[in-house]
Amino acid sequence: MKTKYPVLRPTGASKRPVRPYQQGQLDGLCGAYCLVNVVHYMFGPTCSDTATKVFSELMQYFENHSTALNRMFEGTARREILRALKDHLSYRYPMEFKSASKTNRISITELWSDMSEFMSEKDGIILLGTDEHWTLVSGVTDKTLVLFDSNNMKRLIKSRCTTSNRYRKSKTLIYPSSTYYIWTN
């Protein structure tokens, strides 16, 4: 039996502006894209064939260790990102990584300072977990995180970020325990 869809009528360009859907609006694959971009940033630039191969391998890895379809709709959990870094990417690429914190109970000021210190000491990148997105940090200033992001985000402003659930409705919630420092060995 065919599924019936509602008839969609064109609204016309003059009636209201329409924006295209972007990666992340209809899927939860930003975690997989983030991991592909770790390889692209640290060992690239990679061509689209290589990036597609890494993405495909990651989806196969997720399928073998959880359910790839769940990743598509629910997003990638911290433990899955950690497992993919540890059991998959670090075996294929000469990289090391560590968590920024074992707990989420550190202030945004402490986390920001630690991220800045890492970036000044290592030639690496930071995989950052927020309440709604996985992204990469390629630079840290006193007030800004410079992003290398799959959804065209360019920066996060410190005054608009928090590590506390108390402010999550008005600020971007960053999880320190879902933040990983990655560098080449």
Domain ranges of the chain: 30-184
* Beta bridge partners of residue 128, listed in sequence order: 135
pLDDT greater at residue 13 or residue 100: 100
pLDDT tens digits for range 128-137: 999 989 999 9
Nearest to 97 by CA among 118, 71, 76: 118
The pLDDT score that the predictor gives to residue 75 is 83
146's CB contacts (< 8 A; 6+ apart) are 137, 138, 139, 140, 154, 155
Please give the residue that has the higher pLDDT: either 100 or 4.
100
Write down the pLDDT at residue 27.
80
The CATH architecture to which 30-184 belongs is: Alpha-Beta Complex (3.90)
131 within 8 A of 181, measured Cβ to Cβ: no
pLDDT of residue 17: 63
pLDDT digits (tens, 9 = 90+) for 139-167: 999 999 999 999 889 999 999 999 998 87
- The type of residue at 146 is V
